[in-house]
Amino acid sequence: MTIFDRFQESPFGPLTEHMAKVKECVVLVKPMFECVRRQDFGALKQLGSQVFKLEHEADQLKTDIRRRIPHNFYLPIYRGDLLAYLKLQDDVADSVEDIAVGLTIKNLLLPPAIAGDVQEYVGRVVNVCELLFQCSDQLAGLVEADFGGDRVDEILELVARAEHAEWEADKAEYRVAQKLFALEDELRASDMILWSNVFRELGRLANHADKTAERLRRMLVR
Protein backbone atom coordinates (compact mmCIF):
# COMPACT_ATOMS: atom_id res chain seq x y z
CA MET A 1 0.00 0.00 0.00
CA THR A 2 1.38 3.41 -0.98
CA ILE A 3 1.25 6.66 0.98
CA PHE A 4 -1.35 7.87 -1.53
CA ASP A 5 -3.55 4.85 -0.74
CA ARG A 6 -3.26 5.52 2.97
CA PHE A 7 -4.36 9.11 2.47
CA GLN A 8 -7.53 7.76 0.87
CA GLU A 9 -8.18 5.73 4.03
CA SER A 10 -7.30 8.57 6.42
CA PRO A 11 -5.58 11.94 5.98
CA PHE A 12 -3.67 11.24 9.18
CA GLY A 13 -2.24 7.85 8.26
CA PRO A 14 1.00 9.09 6.65
CA LEU A 15 1.32 11.84 9.26
CA THR A 16 1.28 9.29 12.07
CA GLU A 17 3.94 7.27 10.22
CA HIS A 18 6.13 10.37 10.10
CA MET A 19 5.41 11.09 13.77
CA ALA A 20 6.54 7.57 14.66
CA LYS A 21 9.95 8.39 13.16
CA VAL A 22 10.01 11.70 15.05
CA LYS A 23 9.26 9.81 18.26
CA GLU A 24 12.22 7.50 17.63
CA CYS A 25 14.41 10.61 17.62
CA VAL A 26 12.96 12.03 20.82
CA VAL A 27 13.32 8.71 22.66
CA LEU A 28 17.10 9.13 22.36
CA VAL A 29 17.23 12.54 24.07
CA LYS A 30 17.35 11.30 27.66
CA PRO A 31 19.90 8.54 26.88
CA MET A 32 22.20 11.08 25.21
CA PHE A 33 22.23 13.28 28.29
CA GLU A 34 22.76 10.23 30.48
CA CYS A 35 25.84 9.37 28.40
CA VAL A 36 27.16 12.88 28.96
CA ARG A 37 26.56 12.54 32.70
CA ARG A 38 28.47 9.23 32.76
CA GLN A 39 31.14 10.59 30.38
CA ASP A 40 30.45 7.62 28.13
CA PHE A 41 31.36 9.44 24.94
CA GLY A 42 31.59 6.30 22.82
CA ALA A 43 27.97 5.42 23.52
CA LEU A 44 27.00 9.07 23.02
CA LYS A 45 28.58 9.07 19.56
CA GLN A 46 26.57 5.96 18.65
CA LEU A 47 23.34 7.54 19.85
CA GLY A 48 24.14 10.71 17.93
CA SER A 49 24.63 8.66 14.77
CA GLN A 50 21.25 7.02 15.33
CA VAL A 51 19.61 10.44 15.68
CA PHE A 52 21.20 11.68 12.45
CA LYS A 53 19.97 8.58 10.61
CA LEU A 54 16.45 8.81 12.02
CA GLU A 55 16.16 12.52 11.29
CA HIS A 56 17.21 11.87 7.70
CA GLU A 57 14.57 9.15 7.41
CA ALA A 58 11.97 11.56 8.82
CA ASP A 59 12.99 14.12 6.19
CA GLN A 60 12.57 11.54 3.45
CA LEU A 61 9.09 10.69 4.72
CA LYS A 62 8.20 14.37 4.88
CA THR A 63 9.30 14.89 1.28
CA ASP A 64 7.36 11.85 0.10
CA ILE A 65 4.21 12.98 1.90
CA ARG A 66 4.47 16.50 0.44
CA ARG A 67 4.91 15.05 -3.04
CA ARG A 68 2.05 12.56 -2.80
CA ILE A 69 -0.51 14.39 -0.68
CA PRO A 70 -3.70 14.32 -2.73
CA HIS A 71 -5.04 17.32 -4.60
CA ASN A 72 -7.93 15.68 -6.34
CA PHE A 73 -10.26 14.25 -3.73
CA TYR A 74 -12.06 15.44 -0.66
CA LEU A 75 -10.18 15.76 2.62
CA PRO A 76 -12.12 16.45 5.83
CA ILE A 77 -9.59 19.12 6.77
CA TYR A 78 -7.73 21.79 4.80
CA ARG A 79 -4.72 20.46 2.88
CA GLY A 80 -2.65 23.47 3.94
CA ASP A 81 -3.23 22.59 7.59
CA LEU A 82 -1.97 19.06 6.99
CA LEU A 83 1.21 20.40 5.41
CA ALA A 84 1.74 22.94 8.20
CA TYR A 85 1.25 20.21 10.79
CA LEU A 86 3.77 18.00 8.96
CA LYS A 87 6.33 20.84 8.92
CA LEU A 88 5.94 21.47 12.64
CA GLN A 89 6.30 17.87 13.68
CA ASP A 90 9.36 17.57 11.44
CA ASP A 91 10.82 20.55 13.32
CA VAL A 92 10.72 18.35 16.43
CA ALA A 93 13.09 15.85 14.80
CA ASP A 94 15.28 18.72 13.55
CA SER A 95 15.69 20.01 17.10
CA VAL A 96 16.71 16.58 18.37
CA GLU A 97 19.34 16.47 15.64
CA ASP A 98 20.62 19.91 16.68
CA ILE A 99 20.83 18.75 20.30
CA ALA A 100 22.81 15.69 19.20
CA VAL A 101 25.20 17.92 17.25
CA GLY A 102 25.77 20.15 20.27
CA LEU A 103 26.43 17.21 22.58
CA THR A 104 28.86 15.45 20.23
CA ILE A 105 30.99 18.30 18.83
CA LYS A 106 33.47 17.61 21.64
CA ASN A 107 33.65 15.56 24.82
CA LEU A 108 31.41 17.95 26.72
CA LEU A 109 31.57 17.64 30.51
CA LEU A 110 28.44 18.20 32.60
CA PRO A 111 29.24 20.32 35.67
CA PRO A 112 28.07 18.41 38.78
CA ALA A 113 26.60 21.64 40.19
CA ILE A 114 23.92 21.70 37.49
CA ALA A 115 23.51 17.98 36.76
CA GLY A 116 20.25 17.68 38.71
CA ASP A 117 18.78 20.80 37.12
CA VAL A 118 19.71 19.56 33.66
CA GLN A 119 18.05 16.21 34.34
CA GLU A 120 14.87 18.00 35.44
CA TYR A 121 14.93 20.27 32.41
CA VAL A 122 15.40 17.40 29.98
CA GLY A 123 12.57 15.50 31.65
CA ARG A 124 10.19 18.44 31.32
CA VAL A 125 11.06 18.93 27.66
CA VAL A 126 10.54 15.26 26.86
CA ASN A 127 7.22 15.40 28.73
CA VAL A 128 5.93 18.04 26.29
CA CYS A 129 6.90 15.75 23.41
CA GLU A 130 5.25 12.74 25.03
CA LEU A 131 1.97 14.64 25.35
CA LEU A 132 2.21 15.47 21.65
CA PHE A 133 2.74 11.79 20.88
CA GLN A 134 -0.38 10.93 22.87
CA CYS A 135 -2.28 13.40 20.69
CA SER A 136 -0.88 11.76 17.58
CA ASP A 137 -1.85 8.31 18.81
CA GLN A 138 -5.48 9.46 18.86
CA LEU A 139 -5.49 10.64 15.25
CA ALA A 140 -6.14 7.28 13.60
CA GLY A 141 -9.64 7.08 15.02
CA LEU A 142 -10.71 10.60 14.10
CA VAL A 143 -12.11 9.64 10.72
CA GLU A 144 -14.19 6.87 12.23
CA ALA A 145 -15.45 9.36 14.81
CA ASP A 146 -16.29 11.84 12.01
CA PHE A 147 -13.96 14.43 13.61
CA GLY A 148 -16.15 14.77 16.67
CA GLY A 149 -17.11 13.19 19.95
CA ASP A 150 -15.02 12.07 22.89
CA ARG A 151 -11.86 11.44 20.87
CA VAL A 152 -11.58 15.11 19.87
CA ASP A 153 -12.22 16.16 23.47
CA GLU A 154 -9.41 13.87 24.61
CA ILE A 155 -7.01 15.38 22.08
CA LEU A 156 -7.93 18.93 23.06
CA GLU A 157 -7.30 18.07 26.73
CA LEU A 158 -3.88 16.67 25.82
CA VAL A 159 -3.08 19.83 23.83
CA ALA A 160 -3.92 21.95 26.87
CA ARG A 161 -1.66 19.79 29.02
CA ALA A 162 1.15 20.13 26.47
CA GLU A 163 0.80 23.90 26.59
CA HIS A 164 1.15 23.89 30.37
CA ALA A 165 4.07 21.43 30.21
CA GLU A 166 5.88 23.72 27.77
CA TRP A 167 5.47 26.59 30.26
CA GLU A 168 7.01 24.39 32.96
CA ALA A 169 9.88 23.55 30.61
CA ASP A 170 10.46 27.27 30.02
CA LYS A 171 10.81 27.81 33.76
CA ALA A 172 13.24 24.91 34.04
CA GLU A 173 15.29 26.37 31.18
CA TYR A 174 15.55 29.70 32.99
CA ARG A 175 16.70 28.03 36.22
CA VAL A 176 19.36 25.92 34.54
CA ALA A 177 20.62 28.91 32.50
CA GLN A 178 21.01 30.95 35.68
CA LYS A 179 23.05 28.20 37.31
CA LEU A 180 25.14 27.68 34.18
CA PHE A 181 26.16 31.33 33.97
CA ALA A 182 26.96 31.33 37.68
CA LEU A 183 29.75 28.92 36.73
CA GLU A 184 31.25 31.14 34.02
CA ASP A 185 34.50 31.60 35.96
CA GLU A 186 34.92 27.82 36.28
CA LEU A 187 34.03 26.66 32.76
CA ARG A 188 35.89 26.95 29.51
CA ALA A 189 34.36 29.49 27.18
CA SER A 190 33.75 26.76 24.58
CA ASP A 191 31.87 24.62 27.11
CA MET A 192 29.81 27.60 28.23
CA ILE A 193 28.83 28.34 24.63
CA LEU A 194 28.01 24.72 23.82
CA TRP A 195 25.89 24.18 26.93
CA SER A 196 24.08 27.45 26.32
CA ASN A 197 23.30 26.35 22.77
CA VAL A 198 22.18 22.89 23.88
CA PHE A 199 19.84 24.35 26.49
CA ARG A 200 18.43 26.79 23.95
CA GLU A 201 17.80 23.94 21.51
CA LEU A 202 16.08 21.93 24.22
CA GLY A 203 13.78 24.90 24.66
CA ARG A 204 13.10 24.91 20.93
CA LEU A 205 12.30 21.21 21.07
CA ALA A 206 9.63 21.83 23.71
CA ASN A 207 8.35 24.81 21.76
CA HIS A 208 8.10 22.85 18.50
CA ALA A 209 6.20 20.07 20.25
CA ASP A 210 3.79 22.59 21.78
CA LYS A 211 3.27 24.37 18.46
CA THR A 212 2.59 21.05 16.72
CA ALA A 213 -0.07 20.24 19.31
CA GLU A 214 -1.53 23.72 18.94
CA ARG A 215 -1.71 23.33 15.16
CA LEU A 216 -3.63 20.10 15.69
CA ARG A 217 -6.09 21.95 17.91
CA ARG A 218 -6.61 24.56 15.18
CA MET A 219 -7.37 21.81 12.68
CA LEU A 220 -9.96 20.22 14.94
CA VAL A 221 -11.84 23.31 16.11
CA ARG A 222 -12.30 25.14 12.81
Residue 35 binned pLDDT confidence (cut-offs 50, 70, 90): very high
Position 205 scores a pLDDT of 98
pLDDT digits (tens, 9 = 90+) for 141-190: 665 555 556 778 888 999 999 999 999 999 999 999 999 999 999 999 99
Residue 1 binned pLDDT confidence (cut-offs 50, 70, 90): very low
Position 81 scores a pLDDT of 80
Measure the CA–CA gap between 90 and 88, rounded to whole angstroms.
5
Number of domains into which the chain is organized: 1
Position 19 scores a pLDDT of 93
Q: Could you tell me the pTM of the whole model?
A: 0.90
Query: Is the pLDDT reported for residue 135 higher than 50?
Result: yes
Mean pLDDT within 204-222: 89
Query: Is the pLDDT reported for residue 203 higher than 70?
Result: yes
Mean pLDDT within 54-58: 97
Q: What is the CATH number of the domain that holds 143?
A: 1.20.58.220
**What is the span of the domain harbouring residue 96?**
3-220
